[in-house]
Amino acid sequence: MSKQINIGVIGVGHLGVHHASHLTKIGNANLVGIFDSDTQRAEEISNKLKVKSFESMESLLNSVDAVSIVTPTSTHRKVAESCIKKGKHVFIEKPITSSVDDAEHLIGLANKHDVIIQVGHIERFNPALLALSNLAIDPKYIEVHRMAPFMSRGTDVPVVLDLMIHDIDLILSFISSPVKEIYANGVSIMTNSVDIANARIKFENGSIANITSSRVAKDRVRKIKIFQQDLYVTIDFLAGISEVYKAMGASQNDPDAIMSAPLVGADGKHRQIFYEKPVVKKTDALKSELKNYINAVLGKEKPMVDGFAGKQALDVAIKIHDKILEDLR
């Protein structure tokens, strides 16, 4: 039998219960137990999943090799620090922490104790995105919309750190160039913090990303459009649909093309547009993410989003948020 990782979940609220539930079904993972500072919630989830509820984080840490930290963002530094200092691998839900200093502190500590930090930027595991893994993504321009109805959960941080950070992480994974300039603005509607935000990020290589995020929308939307030379891609992360439009030269009009230019290009060929809808596998992004974490702890895979990537996304998010605050003053 292959090695099993003894794991615990800290924080079994809205999302943590799903972590715990998936971890009972992932081979190589042995869910030893849970800990939640809300004892009533801990007991409820312990009964529901038939898993031990530990009376303290320390006692849980004495029984595991690794943990999933699914507590509110404001607690991530303190909770992760205790786990790492005990030599435990940590999966930290996004955003990694609420400040870049805290993220750097955890990364330094994890290096010292030789443990993995993985950060829960779940969209990297969205099957609609994974369906595009054969494409060479090199965007000139990215347009993103992420909207959600208002809920009090997640409002311990502004919308940029709650929702927009998902898209910032994706964009940084697509564009490997330093950020050059950021323009951003936003408004508060339901909280004392920023609830709707728009940011335009310009990268050193000339690429631009325009992101709109709102947590005060009637309907949920999670869409990204990627424009690059000879390629246009749309991803609907909620519906699980990707669409690809490729421009190619053809010597004759191809009946499969959805558009043809009347003019012949410099290569002596007609420019034509071809449409594809890649097959999207029906996988669960959270389960795939946790499998990646368990395999990373086993040394079989690299974490898709490590502490450094989590910190990079947070750094850009905080710069965007600071620009919004500057604009509001």
Rg (CA), the chain: 22
Cα–Cα dist 69/75, whole Å: 9
Please report, as residue ranges, which positions from 102 to 141 form the binding site for ligand NAD (by CB under 6 A): 120, 122
Q: Is residue 216 within 8 Å of 225, Cβ to Cβ? A: no
Distance of CA 93 to the CA centre of its chain: 9
Cα–Cα dist 33/25, whole Å: 14
Q: In the set 6, 41, 182, 240, which binds ligand NAD (CB under 6 A)? A: 41
Q: In the set 36, 167, 195, 306, which binds ligand NAD (CB under 6 A)? A: 36
Q: Kindly tell me which of 65 and 123 has the beta carbon lying closer to ligand NAD.
A: 123
Angle at which helix 307-328 crosses helix 165-174, to 10 degrees, equals 120
Which amino acid, one-letter code, is at 202? K
Q: Does 311 bind ligand NAD (CB under 6 A)?
A: no
Q: Does 75 bind ligand NAD (CB under 6 A)?
A: yes
Residues contacting ligand NAD: total by CB under 6 A: 24
What is the nearest approach in angstroms of ligand NAD to the Cβ of residue 171? 16
- DSSP three-state, residue 264: strand
Joined together, the tokens standing for residue 51 give 């898993």
Site string for ligand NAD, 55-74 (x = CB under 6 A): ---------------xxxx-
Phi, psi of 100, deg, nearest 5: -65, -35
Please report, as residue ranges, which positions from 163 to 222 form the binding site for ligand NAD (by CB under 6 A): none
What is the nearest approach in angstroms of ligand NAD to the Cβ of residue 264? 48
Q: Does 3 bind ligand NAD (CB under 6 A)?
A: no
Footprint of ligand NAD on this chain (CB under 6 A)? 10-16, 35-38, 41, 70-73, 75, 79, 93-94, 120, 122, 153-154
